Chain A
Amino acid sequence: MPEAAAASPTAGRISGYAFSDLARTSVWDPLFEPGTYGNRGAGAGATIKPIRGLSAASVIARNPSGSAGSRAPRQIGGLETPDVGRLIASDDLRVAADGPGRWRVTSHDRPEGALVRELRNALAGEASVTDQSHGWSMLEISGPAVPDILAKGSSIDFHMDVFGPGTAMPTSIHHMAVHLSCLDDRPGYAIQLFRSMAGSFATWLKDASANFGYDVVQD
């Protein structure tokens, strides 16, 4: 046993670790540095925006009658609940279907735990709410080459008539489970994935984007 351990430790709490002083880290920080990368043609084929400080929650409808979604909440966070395969967004909130009777709710810039508290209060008895703010890492990617970039890892048809704005679904990209939403017709997309795979995903995305050229920007 080390000698120090035998002695009585300094009484009381450790110093220098106050939560109020601790900035939340982002899994993206060591992976994406703002800048300009890859081949340059007419301009960047894609703009990658890693999202820091995400608030995210899974909302799963209660099923008192035994069939999932039978009494689905009509609204989540003030937005109509979207059908399977769809996304509905306001300025500060996105609600995306994640399967029958399941939704992913995301928001920027809310204090730790606030989104889940709001949703739990609003949906008590209607849905179970679980905090996923730290587990679902998210980035946004937009630009003319993005359908071609994503096609390197996904067999979804990214034609705007097929997977256009407002489409959202859980799928996989390069063998990694993701939740993918089309936000607009730039085209812009939001991609959520498990935090632990952010490194492999970033490597893949940078590799897939390089021949089109891409910018990394901060949110």
Chain B
Amino acid sequence: MPQLYRNSSGGQIDRADLLRFSFDGKKYTGYTGDTLASALLANGVRLVGRSFKYHRPRGILTAGVEEPNALVEMRPGPRREPNTRATVVELYDGLEAKSQNRWPSLKFDVMSVNQMLAPFLTAGFYYKTFMWPPSFWEPVYESIIRRAAGLGRVSEAADPDHYEKSNAHCDLLVIGAGPTGLAAALTAARAGARVIIADEGAKLGGALLSERLAVDDMAGDAWVRSAIEELESMPHVRMFARTTVFGRYDAGTYGLVERVADHLPEPPPNTPRQTLWRVFAKRSILASGAIERPIVFGDNDRPGVMLAGAARTYANRYAVQPGKKVVVCGNSDDIARTVADLGAAGCQVVAVVDTRPQSNGVDLGRPIYRNSVVRRALGGQYVQAAEIGEVDSGISTEKVDCDAIVVTGGWSPNINVATHLGARPSYDPDIVGFTLPEHQGEMTVAGSAMGDFGTMDCFSAGERAANACLGALGIAPRNAPVVNDVDEAPFGNMQAFFYVRNAKGKSFVDFQNDVIAKDLRQAVQEGYDSAEHAKRYTTFGMATDQGKTGSLNGAAILADAMGRTIGEVGVTTARPPYTPVSLGAWSGHAAGAEFMPTRRTPMHGWHEANGAEFVEAGLWYRPAYYLRKGEQTWLEASDREVEATRSSVGISDVSTLGKIDIQGPDAGRFLNKLYINGWTKLAVGKARYGLMLREDGMVMDDGTTSRLGEEHYLMTTTTANAAGVMAHIEYCHQVIWPEFDVQYVSVTEQWAQMAIAGPRARDVLTRVVDDVDLSNEAFPFMAARDLTILGGMPARLFRISFSGELAYELAVPADYGTAAWKAVMAAGAPYGITPYGLEALGAMRIEKGHAAGQELDGRTTADDLGLGGMMSKAKDFVGKPLSQRPGLVAEDRPKLVGLRPTTPGERVSAGAHLLPKGAEPVIANDQGWISSAAHSPTLDSWIGLGFVKNGRNRMGERLIAKDFVREREYEVEIVSPHMVDPKGEKLHA
């Protein structure tokens, strides 16, 4: 299909590079340098989408990120991306795009019947209509509304591309690379400042690429090229095209998203699709320019209605005619430059409509309607004529046939990013727009973002702002001007004119959310008489474009309806992101298996190779059980592992437990403060179980600590609390007892540690250790010492037990972990040594009544756990005073007990609540809960640990366990938590 609206010369497109693309399956061509929007217009495609609520036909309103209408679905397959603005999509060969929000086709959309229902679909429609009954809210109403009103569809397939995050630092961040930004960057860079300049466009240059003007006798785009060359030559400058500064955060931190490969069919190898940048800037200059506003008139959303600046951009930059017969309507001298540019591009301007009584006297050579405005666009799926009438006359007097209405209502400073930290813009009648004070903390607002709309003014403003920043940075400025002279058409002389009164048809203020002038007036009538309330009631400004084109027009209409001034009404502030940022960019590398860093023990590879199924414990991966051939379930594996350990010997990887090396003359005194029990009398070569409290008197953590030397201890913590205990130790030393001469450092990672448990544990270890007598007399329960194994490997051996068996923990430096593990496996082979995982370990500790994370849940006291007797009366320790509070020593507190089902084979479930038999399951009757549950092959029964009010005095009582989650109920009997080998005979064997 030929490009009927493309001129044969001019523009910044490469006609030698023909690109093929498709829209809604139809094939078209364009050129390198095109956007999807410019290429569609070149092919005469005007209808590109359907609106959100009324499904009205929509075209292309703008040429930039503010586009509210031309939202398309990009790419097929898993890369499909909805709500992409055709005005910023760079064309590439093979591009596939589709319109959205229509069925069955863009031209014939069934849901456009909503237009007929418009009288009912006014502001607050959902709130008023879908109220009753409440039970319908989620299942019925929400699904209906979502289906009817959704914009685009996500692909639902995994994103095949990868994304990155990165950081950058600079003296000066320049946001926007139009005349203001480039002047600022050049000024600061020439003075030696580290500069980052970012622009959302495919090329730096901003309006210099769109307007016909001369900068120091060079065409705008030629001057831009020379500026870029100079900036590129300076190593302290980083330039980012295709990069949006989407958010301003505290203390000079900015969020940027760089679309590294969005302009390509797919990213090249090892290249991210997008990169999310966090920039730390000492100073910044907001040179984000201004956004043109439409005039609100009847059916102003018809495809073919376009902003004047956009029309000039399409004509000048892309050599595309926005229409063949064009009506130009506006309220400033921009009319003249628009007429000139369109004329130069070969469009026929059939009428000029100026809201001002007096134009500037330029003879435009065609009919001029002064003191007039386009009151309504006529036509169905595209503009066919314009109705024109005098301002405030209330009637249309002329009808002019045309295929495009190009409109300018003036320019609003684009201060979106500057308001992210809460700055409130105020109305400036001189420029007819909302502005902010020039200096916003480390940010300086400059150029048309401050209301300086002339190109030369922008160059000067950029220089001025940069010099002010250099002063603040202590860098000497170099005062040669960046630009001396700009030759451009007249601009300005703007009249404050926003909307047509009593227009026929629908007058859109917020195109993307289908908010019309009547909605805003109705909101005021219904009492929403503040900009923020009216916004939320009507959804005005709440679409993905954040109402960039409509905010001032909306404020003017609200002001009129409220009888206030625009300044009194104000505008709503913006929040990041300035334009939508894809979730992939936010996650960066942290996706899929790399969602979080993982921690692996030194023996991880062995576990993997030997059938381990892993379970996450914080970031750690721990073997849960080792499935053997013929085993179907984790329970079979766990039961086998328990039985093998209890009957012979098992081995388990316990490297993940926290290990803290504590040294110094005051180490023992320090431990006395940290733990509830005493430490100074612990002999060298012995370990002791310790329990520590938080300051509020609740249990914090437990573990064994060994005395390796006179001034040297090794503390162990639970896996989950290792980092928390370390922080607690730092706090206690630095804040409470800084006078203690004690040093501590984590050695969790230095040691690979394995538990060897079971009646044959000693036999196994005897074959491994070097010349150490492991007999019960020589190496009794709680012995701990440095030794060597396997003829010289450094190691530590502790006779401690979590399983209740004769057990040891053997530690070796991590790089020897697998070798030592294999050696122990070999030494244990004659005894059938069995590796066991966390499930078996859990079952064995529950059989023994040992508390673990489920019991140390931050709500239990030492006495609740049956460990109150450990609390030393002879010394002070962290948590002691508050542990004596009445509520913490109350008789009826839930105490740790064992629980067994009264029906053989009944499964015990953690989380169930305990109730008296026959009692209603309400909180007043609650007797406690089940904290841990396991199958005990030793007892051939499911068992549990739990907390029961005054439980230690209620042995033998029967309660009902009510499991609300699994919807089960069963009877349990309260028993001692020490369900296996209660006297500890095996332990001391």
Contacts and interface: CB of A to CB of B under 8 A. Distances in A.
Interface string B772-805: 0000000000000000111111100000000000
Given A133-B813, A200-B597, A9 B767 contact: yes
Nearest to A37: B270
A94 B509 CA distance: 67
Contacts of B790: 17-19, 22
A40 B791 CA distance: 49
Contacts of A60: 663, 743-745
Given A4-B832, A13-B767, A19-B793, A136 B749 contact: yes
Interface string B558-590: 000000000000000000000000000000011
Contacts of A185: none
Given A4-B832, A22-B819, A63-B741, A151 B620 contact: no
A159 B404 CA distance: 53
Interface stretch (B421-429, B599-607, B908-916, B919-927): B599-607
Nearest to A24: B815
B794 A62 contact: no
A107 interface: no
A86 to B, nearest CB: 20
Task: Give the interface size bracket for A toward B.
Answer: 35 or more
A135 B750 contact: yes
A7 B829 CA distance: 12
Interface of A: 1-2, 4-5, 7, 9-10, 12-14, 16-20, 22, 24-27, 30, 38-39, 58, 60-64, 66-68, 102, 112-113, 127-128, 130-136, 148, 151-157, 159, 162, 174-176, 194-197, 199-201, 203-204, 207-208, 210-211
Given A174-B589, A208-B589, A4 B747 contact: no
A27 B815 contact: yes
B614 to A, nearest CB: 13
A128 B710 CA distance: 13
Contacts of A176: 597
A148 B238 CA distance: 12
B745 A130 contact: yes
Contacts of B707: none
25 contacts: A1-B648, A7-B830, A9-B763, A13-B767, A17-B822, A19-B790, A19-B793, A25-B815, A30-B605, A39-B271, A113-B794, A131-B747, A132-B749, A133-B750, A135-B748, A152-B167, A175-B590, A175-B597, A176-B597, A194-B748, A195-B749, A196-B600, A197-B597, A201-B597, A208-B589
Contacts of A195: 602, 749, 814
A30 B823 CA distance: 21
Nearest to A127: B743
B827 A25 contact: no
Interface string B817-843: 011001100110111100000000000
B156 interface: no
A99 to B, nearest CB: 10
A112 B743 contact: no
Tell me the dominant secondary structure on chain B's binding face.
mixed
Contacts of B644: 2
B846 interface: no
Contacts of A200: 594, 597-599
A38 B167 contact: no
Given A12-B767, A203-B594, A207-B589, A151 B166 contact: yes
B598 A199 contact: yes
Contact of A17 (B278, B596, B826): B826
Nearest to A38: B270
A102 to B, nearest CB: 8
Interface string B362-382: 000000000000000000000
B816 interface: yes
A155 to B, nearest CB: 5
Contacts of B278: 155
Contact of B823 (A17, A39, A135): A17
A36 B826 CA distance: 39
Given A14-B826, A128-B664, A176-B597, 6 more contacts: A17-B790, A19-B789, A130-B747, A195-B749, A201-B597, A211-B271
A15 B601 CA distance: 26
A10 B830 contact: yes
A103 to B, nearest CB: 11
A155 B826 CA distance: 48
A129 to B, nearest CB: 8
B904 interface: no
Contacts of B788: 19
Interface string B259-292: 0000000000111100000101000000000000
Contacts of A207: 162, 589, 594
